[in-house]
Chains A and B, each alone.
Chain A
Amino acid sequence: MRKAGLLTTAAMALALSAGMAQAEELHVLNWQGYGTDEAWAMETFEAATGVTVVHDYFNSEQEMLTKLRTSPGAYDVILINSAFTQQAADEGLIQPIDTSRLENFAALSPGLRDAPDLSYDGEVYGVAWTWGLTSIAYDTTEVDPGTSIDILWDPQYAGNVGLRDDSVENVAIAAIATGQNMNDPADMDLIREKLRELKPQIRTYWSSEDEWNKEFSADSFDVSVYWSGSASRSATAFNLPVGFFIPDEGAIAWLDGLSIATDAPNLDAAYAFIDYMDSADFYVRWDTEAGAPASANPSAMDMLPDTAFNKVVLSRPGATDHLQFMAPLSDEKREEFLEVWEETKAYFAE
């Protein structure tokens, strides 16, 4: 009898602590290895708030949306590219942000903080976190990059050019190379032609940062379309001879925001976490130890040394004059871009 009583008490204590542990977790959905899951950052956050950060990952924006649609209540904080924030808000997957609960919000760069793509129906749904570029990376030991995007089409690098297998990205690159608006190109035929001309240049596609590093080390390409944050990591954390430049014709710019899921189980911790992510403390350590894209917090950028990867890339005169920011695309546009890209790939394979 007494034994049974003891067991019940023990079971109750266990159930209680399990319940408490659950209340003290924060579920984050992000790309793997993209800042929020830095071990020291999760430790710092847990030490300050007592909340354990638990991660789940996605490999594409579509996967992220699918996870939000199919598991309501499973996530608190989600990283969403600003080109998808309005779609997620429109589908009711994320909730409006009470910006007064974020200490660092007022200090963010106004141009990024108030970007129209992060708002929906007059309310903020995404908190500007980082921004960066999709442009051209090169092997500093073998390539003198010049200043033009045409380096991708240069016969000198035939068979040595890397592209990501991504329709939106490649259509955008061809649009920039042909002087068009990448979010709404007027002449798709011109883009089709420009992409087809890449046939002798390309041997394989890369699909993730990890794969890029592997292919680059194996010398599969010397010039490649790549992401600025990842290029910074390849140079900083992996010590690869990677250079990165913004061509005169322009580059693809993107803005990543942090959002809160509609049924977020741990709202207070979600606000605290987003605030920490936008702090200079977090960003400076992230960029110096691992390598990161540019922060939306200007005071964090100011604290970086002048030799920091992002500062060097952005310091070239006129570098940011022709950037085109990724905008939300309709389903029809996405399908059209994919069709053009798949047709191009079929032609490459011939």
Chain B
Amino acid sequence: MRAETRRRWAIAGLTGPAYLWLTLTIFLPLSAMLWFSFQRKGPFGRHETEFTLKHYEAFFTKDYLQDLTWRSLEMGLQVTVICLILGFPAAYVLAKRIKGRWREALFLLIVLPFWSNALVRIFSWTVVLRPGGVLDSAVQSVFPGAPSIDLADSWSAVIIGLVHSYLPYMILTCYLSLQAIDDSLIEAARSLGASALTILWRIVLPLAIPGLAAGAVLIFVPVIGSFFEPKLLGGTQGVVIGTVIEEQFTVVSNWPLGGALSFILLAIVLLILAVSYPFLKDRMRTA
């Protein structure tokens, strides 16, 4: 009994600080923002507090807000899929093919982008992608007279910049899942005559689903809320719901509308996760 009590205290003592920290840094600001999203006006200036639903109504009555939300979801989907296509093979090679020193060196290269400031990364892409920029000059020097490459201020530039920023998440999560796969499973399959494709499809992929799913969520969620990457790389194409939310806070101090749009986005994310959860759970169990 006393041991049980002591164990409970230990759990409370060990997890308490983390929960307190989460309460202070996530729960409180979010609740404050939720409260503001139902107010007529933001916290500045002198005015009565007044409850309203008009900021949530705005989303459903104004077409451009829905269009831009759709655009953001599309951006999230494209970035996630490209990260998957690029990240999974890279993680596989790292986990199963390369050993020792080389693996460490490659890991370092993969995590390297994380060590530089996100803004610096995005700004350097503007230098690379503009006509007469790094990419263009490189192509011109190899193939003189090739048509000039101009990706600056375009949707492609936004996707390239975001993929570069978020790819490491996919590689790292997939790597963890793939490394945990027992090599003898693959050897057994091979000795029973399974082709490489069958092994990939029936053994490796199903076992790697947790890593793929974690990577996809880690990428999809922040990307649909991103605003400075589209703004800096996209030119007139770089308009998404994230930039609209940002402008509500920075241009007109309209916290209520900014908050309402953020919570709608949050609701959409939760809905997507809720819909995909049973499927993922199913896949993980059968695996």
**Residues in A lying within 8 Å of B, measured CB to CB:** 60, 62-63, 65-66, 69, 91, 165, 167, 202-205, 218, 220, 331, 334-335, 338-339, 342-343, 345-350
User: Which residues of the partner chain A approach B62 to less than 8 Å between Cβ atoms?
Assistant: 339, 343
- Please determine whether B247 and A338 come into contact, CB atoms closer than 8 angstroms: yes
Say whether, besides A203-B153, A331-B41, A346 and B254 are in contact (CB < 8 Å): no
A269 and B15 alpha carbons, distance in the complex (Å): 53
**Residues in B lying within 8 Å of A, measured CB to CB:** 41, 44-46, 62, 64, 67-68, 71, 130, 132, 152-153, 231, 234-239, 244, 247-248, 250-254, 257
- Please determine whether A348 and B250 come into contact, CB atoms closer than 8 angstroms: no
- Please determine whether A345 and B236 come into contact, CB atoms closer than 8 angstroms: yes
Which of A204, A342, A347 is within 8 Å of B247, CB to CB? A342
User: Which residues of the partner chain A approach B45 to less than 8 Å between Cβ atoms?
Assistant: 91, 331
Which of B132, B152, B239, B251 lies at the interface centre, i.e. has the most chain A CB atoms within 10 A of its CB? B251
11 contacts between A and B (CB under 8 A): A60-B251, A65-B44, A66-B253, A91-B45, A338-B248, A338-B251, A339-B62, A342-B64, A346-B239, A348-B236, A349-B234
Q: A205-B235, A218-B132, A349-B239 are in contact. List 6 more A-B contacts (CB 8 A).
A: A63-B250, A69-B44, A331-B252, A334-B251, A335-B257, A338-B247
A286 and B237 alpha carbons, distance in the complex (Å): 38
Which of B64, B152, B234, B253 lies at the interface centre, i.e. has the most chain A CB atoms within 10 A of its CB? B64
User: Which residues of the partner chain A approach B237 to less than 8 Å between Cβ atoms?
Assistant: 349
- Please determine whether B253 and A203 come into contact, CB atoms closer than 8 angstroms: no
User: Which residues of the partner chain A approach B68 to less than 8 Å between Cβ atoms?
Assistant: 346
Question: Looking across the interface, which residue of chain A has its beta carbon closest to that of B130?
Answer: A218
Say whether, besides A60-B250, A62-B250, A346 and B64 are in contact (CB < 8 Å): yes
- Please determine whether A335 and B239 come into contact, CB atoms closer than 8 angstroms: no
Which of A339, A343, A349 lies at the interface centre, i.e. has the most chain B CB atoms within 10 A of its CB? A349
- Please determine whether B236 and A204 come into contact, CB atoms closer than 8 angstroms: yes
- Please determine whether A349 and B236 come into contact, CB atoms closer than 8 angstroms: yes
A298 and B250 alpha carbons, distance in the complex (Å): 36
- Please determine whether A343 and B251 come into contact, CB atoms closer than 8 angstroms: no
Tell me how far the C-beta of B152 lies from the nearest C-beta in chain A, rounded to whole angstroms.
Answer: 8
- Please determine whether B235 and A204 come into contact, CB atoms closer than 8 angstroms: yes
A205 and B237 alpha carbons, distance in the complex (Å): 10
Question: Looking across the interface, which residue of chain B has its beta carbon closest to that of A61?
Answer: B251
Question: Looking across the interface, which residue of chain A has its beta carbon closest to that of B244?
Answer: A342
- Please determine whether B239 and A348 come into contact, CB atoms closer than 8 angstroms: yes
Which of A60, A202, A334 is within 8 Å of B236, CB to CB? A202
Tell me how far the C-beta of A298 lies from the nearest C-beta in chain B, rounded to whole angstroms.
Answer: 35
Question: Looking across the interface, which residue of chain B has its beta carbon closest to that of A336?
Answer: B252
Tell me how far the C-beta of B201 lies from the nearest C-beta in chain A, rounded to whole angstroms.
Answer: 39
A334 and B71 alpha carbons, distance in the complex (Å): 25
A10 and B238 alpha carbons, distance in the complex (Å): 58
Tell me how far the C-beta of A207 lies from the nearest C-beta in chain B, rounded to whole angstroms.
Answer: 8
Tell me how far the C-beta of B220 lies from the nearest C-beta in chain A, rounded to whole angstroms.
Answer: 21
A334 and B248 alpha carbons, distance in the complex (Å): 10
Which 10 A-B residue pairings sit nearest by Cβ, starting from the closest?
A204-B235, A346-B64, A349-B239, A348-B236, A204-B153, A345-B239, A343-B64, A334-B252, A338-B252, A335-B252
Tell me how far the C-beta of B172 lies from the nearest C-beta in chain A, rounded to whole angstroms.
Answer: 32
A343 and B63 alpha carbons, distance in the complex (Å): 9
User: Which residues of the partner chain A approach B234 to less than 8 Å between Cβ atoms?
Assistant: 349
User: Which residues of the partner chain A approach B236 to less than 8 Å between Cβ atoms?
Assistant: 202-205, 345, 348-349
- Please determine whether A335 and B64 come into contact, CB atoms closer than 8 angstroms: no
Tell me how far the C-beta of A162 lies from the nearest C-beta in chain B, rounded to whole angstroms.
Answer: 11
A69 and B44 alpha carbons, distance in the complex (Å): 9
Say whether, besides A202-B236, A204-B153, A335 and B67 are in contact (CB < 8 Å): no
A63 and B239 alpha carbons, distance in the complex (Å): 22
A205 and B153 alpha carbons, distance in the complex (Å): 9
A183 and B205 alpha carbons, distance in the complex (Å): 61
User: Which residues of the partner chain B approach A218 to less than 8 Å between Cβ atoms?
Assistant: 130, 132
Question: Looking across the interface, which residue of chain A has its beta carbon closest to that of B133?
Answer: A218
Tell me how far the C-beta of A204 lies from the nearest C-beta in chain B, rounded to whole angstroms.
Answer: 3
A342 and B68 alpha carbons, distance in the complex (Å): 10
- Please determine whether A335 and B254 come into contact, CB atoms closer than 8 angstroms: yes
